[in-house]
Amino acid sequence: MHQNQIASITGIGSYLPSKKLTNHDLEKIVDTTDDWILQRTGIRERRIVENGVATSDLAAHASLKAIENAGISAEEIDMIITSTITPDYLFPSTSCCLQKQIGATRASAFDISAACSGFVYALSIGQSFVNSGAAKTVLVVGSECLSKIVDYTDRTTCVLFGDGAGAVVVQNNPEKHQILDTRLVSDGSHSDVLIIHGGGSKHPASPDSIQQRLHYIQFRGKEVFKLAINNITNLVIETAQKNGFDVQDIDLIIPHQSNLRIIEATMEKLNLPMEKAFVNINKYGNTSSASVPIAIDEAQQEGRLKKGDLVMLVAFGGGLTWGSSVIKW
């Protein structure tokens, strides 16, 4: 790290499509009920893009808000990092599409794929570039159109996912929200528990892959549930220890919004009250890598983040991947 280089979040923005898909709407599509979904997931509704809207479109809305919030122009951005599992195309990157939309003419641009942990992974990269002095202003984005890869004939998965985007600007500014530490973990031995089999080099798109519905999200929920709770709990404890504070010192945990029961079980294992967790899954469902930055923006708007607060971001997703970030607000 260059002397006095402290990567901080200086701008925040999010965007949700206006169209809502409620549990009652889903009752008309698949064999499910509002009570069943709510009891098992905590989700009441989710946002869905209109036809023709792509991941970069959502990202652009969120990014422009974050840029305005940071008080900068798009031309000042040195780098764009977008986390997504629903890119506009296999290539070019969604970040390049986003760069064009927002006019960030000076920026380098690339995507990362770490599923629901992707935003924390991307934030870690942005933090490293700013801390090293290699970049002054980094735009970090999580954006997803999960409704495009959900099988609406599969009642176990179609109830979970929604669309949205969130973005932050990362700069060297110790007066703002300092990123103190980021920890990233992966375990590829569980790579098949949450997966889209079709569309890559393993199973290229073909009439057969379409017939077998290989281009939709498939996951084994019970396995993911257990792995998520144990690994997130351990990561929070390890992150606190590494940074010299107690878990009880955390003012707010902003977790990936995958399942309310996972969040509740994790908070119980950490011996923390639910008041210390920010939850908005009831409104948006699981928006994968967009969920954490959307939650940061909402927590800020709701007055849940106060100057000097110790905030921990934590996420868990396919790969398997998980990660945490400690921020001094």
Domain of 239, CATH number, reads: 3.40.47.10
pLDDT range class, residue 220, cuts 50, 70, 90: confident
Buried b (16+ CB within 10 A) or exposed e, 4-30: eebbbbbbbbbbbbeeebebeebeeee
Query: Quick check: is 1 in a domain?
Result: no
Query: Quick check: is 95 in a domain?
Result: yes
* Co-location of 193 and 89 in the same domain: no
Report which secondary-structure segment, H or E, holds 264.
helix 260-269
* Co-location of 134 and 230 in the same domain: no
Query: Quick check: is 2 in a domain?
Result: no
Q: What is the pLDDT of residue 4?
A: 65
Over residues 165-183, mean pLDDT: 97
* Co-location of 35 and 138 in the same domain: yes
Query: Quick check: is 150 in a domain?
Result: yes
Q: Look up the domain containing 111 and give its range.
A: 7-176
Query: Quick check: is 24 in a domain?
Result: yes
Q: What is the pLDDT of residue 221?
A: 81
Last residue of a domain, one of 176, 210, 234: 176
Q: What is the pLDDT of residue 3?
A: 59
* Co-location of 159 and 17 in the same domain: yes
Return the amino acid letter for 257: Q
* Co-location of 167 and 227 in the same domain: no
* Co-location of 150 and 196 in the same domain: no
Active site residues: 116, 256, 286
* Co-location of 150 and 19 in the same domain: yes
**37-87 pLDDT tens trace:** 999 999 999 999 999 999 999 999 999 999 999 999 999 999 999 999 999
* Co-location of 55 and 103 in the same domain: yes
Query: Quick check: is 170 in a domain?
Result: yes
Q: Of 132, 131, 140, give the one whose Cα is nearest residue 111.
A: 140
Inter-residue long-range contacts of 296-303, CB under 8 Å, 24+ positions, other chains counted:
296/9, 296/12, 296/14, 296/166, 296/168, 296/254, 297/12, 297/13, 297/14, 297/65, 297/166, 298/14, 299/252, 299/254, 300/12
* Co-location of 145 and 206 in the same domain: no
How big is the CA angle at 125 (ends 187 and 86), to the nearest 5 degrees? 65
Query: Quick check: is 109 in a domain?
Result: yes
* Co-location of 193 and 157 in the same domain: no
Tokens standing for residue 53: 């809207």
Is pLDDT at 187 greater than 90 in this prediction?
A: yes
Cis peptide before 17 (omega within 30 of 0): no
* Co-location of 138 and 237 in the same domain: no
Q: What is the pLDDT of residue 277?
A: 98
> How many whole angstroms separate alpha carbon 141 and alpha carbon 55?
11
**104-119 pLDDT tens trace:** 999 999 999 999 999 9
> How many whole angstroms separate alpha carbon 255 and alpha carbon 41?
15
Give the chain's domain count.
2
Last residue of a domain, one of 176, 202, 218: 176
> How many whole angstroms separate alpha carbon 328 and alpha carbon 209?
47
* Co-location of 66 and 113 in the same domain: yes
DSSP state of 203: S
Query: Quick check: is 245 in a domain?
Result: yes
